[in-house]
Amino acid sequence: MAYPEIRIDLNKIETNTRTTVERCHQQGIQVAGVTKLFGGNPEIATAYVAGGVDLLADSRIDNLKRLSGFSLPKMLLRIPMISEAATVVQTADMVLISEPETAKALSNQAKALDKSIQLILMVDVGDLREGLYAMKEIQEAASMMDGLPGVQLTGIGTNLTCYGGVRPSRKNLTQLVNIKTELEKLLKRHLPVLSGGNGGTLSLLETGEIPVEINQLRLGSSLAMGIGLNDEPIPGLQQDAFLLLTEIVELRRKPSIPEGIIGLDAFGNRPVFEDRGNRMRAICALGRQDIHPDEICPLQKGIQILGASSDHLILDVEDCSDLLQIGSYLTFLPTYGGCLSLMTSPYVKKIIIT
Ligand SMILES: *Cc1c(COP(=O)(O)O)cnc(C)c1O
């Protein structure tokens, strides 16, 4: 055993995926399984594939490259950099895009490489991340992209919740449907894909509020961690497919208030303390270089996170009735953001259980 470790349960991910894919397929929605949470790790992606996703999607081209062994179509989620246009054309089958200049670059590379790539034009319906905003801009971009060789404008899409925190609603999704209808009139052809957002949109699935025209969702946190809008648990899904295990390296009773003149901590903050007398404390071999302490929640009862420096996690374990020892490990549930850091830290061992 080597800690810290993130333990990844493929059965839970597969079950979450199967449940979600069934719910989506019932409403005519295909699922792009988003792998960025685990850096496009192909072994973990097998759980998505076994659970029935229709495409694999990632925001980074390096992650998509790792998925080349799967026959499912690959989608690039982050609007591409012109500097990566050649790699994008070589690696992805479908790409979310907003800038006509970038579409031109992809077209040139596609011609040069004798390949073809599908474009989903991103429209901003209010969250203010990627996507064109004004109808005139959207129409101009769509007409221009429609005429480019080597690329096919396959549909439009939007993203919500991620930057502005704007919730998906019947209203903003209907706006997306209307834009697609307008573009189809303009281009005089059908646009087959209407990509209605990320896991946040699943909240509208149960209530039947997703317009029928929406036929694709891009899902990551729901499949992998069973969470949706506002990171809240989605009923019927499991939230503990990813667990953090970290080892206790010191276990001592100490005062709860530091002694001496208090200045700034290692991160420039002035810490505040509550005097609770002498308390049993544990230090675990984990720090901010791996994860921010706000992004984990202890699974054992009676454990409180006091703080963390770069390499030490400090816990109050006075009220924990489990037998704790030097060298034993404690288990934590990471948030989405926390999981992203843990999966990205080279210091955290990734242990896949099947
Ligand atoms: C990350 C991402 C998703 C997936 O988001 P989840 O909240 O994990 O479902 C969807 N679309 C885009 C463009 C993304 O970057």
Per-residue pLDDT at 265: 86
The answer as to whether 93 is a domain residue is yes
> What domain range includes position 50?
10-229
For residue 264, is pLDDT > 90?
no
The answer as to whether 334 is a domain residue is yes
pLDDT band at 163 (very low <50, low <70, confident <90, very high): confident
Residues 10-16 have a mean pLDDT of 98
Do residues 202 and 280 both lie within one domain? no
The answer as to whether 158 is a domain residue is yes
Quote the mean pLDDT of the chain.
96
The answer as to whether 316 is a domain residue is yes
What's the pLDDT tens digit per position in 166-176?
999 999 999 99
For residue 262, is pLDDT > 90?
no
Do residues 35 and 143 both lie within one domain? yes
HEC string of 176-200? HHHHHHHHHHHHCCCCCEEECCCHH
DSSP tag of 267: T
Among 194, 229, 264, identify where a domain stops: 229
The C-alpha atoms of residue 231 and residue 235 are separated, in whole angstroms, by 12
Which segments within the chain are labelled E, that is strand?
Answer: 5-9, 30-34, 55-58, 74-76, 94-97, 117-122, 151-157, 193-195, 216-219, 242-255, 278-284, 296-298, 304-308, 313-316, 329-334, 349-353
The answer as to whether 104 is a domain residue is yes
Do residues 14 and 113 both lie within one domain? yes
**Tokens read off for 176:** 């997306």
Please say if 36 is a catalytic residue: yes
Query: Which residue's alpha carbon is nearest to atom 7 within ligand 1?
Result: 199
**Tokens read off for 279:** 């308390």
Cα Rg, the chain, nearest whole Å: 23
For residue 287, is pLDDT > 80?
yes
CA distance readout (Å), 271 to 250, 262, 266, 279, 309 = 21, 8, 10, 18, 12
For residue 157, is pLDDT > 80?
yes
User: In the chain, pLDDT over 70 holds for what percent of residues?
Assistant: 100
> Between 278 and 206, whose confidence is greater?
278
Do residues 215 and 334 both lie within one domain? no
Q: Which amino acid is at 203?
A: S
Task: Select from 127, 162, 231, 232 the residue to mutate for testing ligand 1; criterion: most ligand atoms less than 8 Å from CB.
Answer: 162
Do residues 73 and 165 both lie within one domain? yes
Asked if 173 and 211 touch (Cβ cutoff 8 Å), the reply is yes
For residue 84, is pLDDT > 90?
yes
Per-residue pLDDT at 273: 87
Task: Select from 24, 198, 231 the residue to mutate for testing ligand 1; criterion: most ligand atoms less than 8 Å from CB.
Answer: 198
Among 229, 262, 277, identify where a domain stops: 229
Do residues 335 and 254 both lie within one domain? yes
Q: How many domains does the chain have?
A: 2
Do residues 102 and 151 both lie within one domain? yes
Do residues 204 and 255 both lie within one domain? no
Q: Say how many Å lie between the CA of residue 7 and the centre of ligand 1.
A: 22
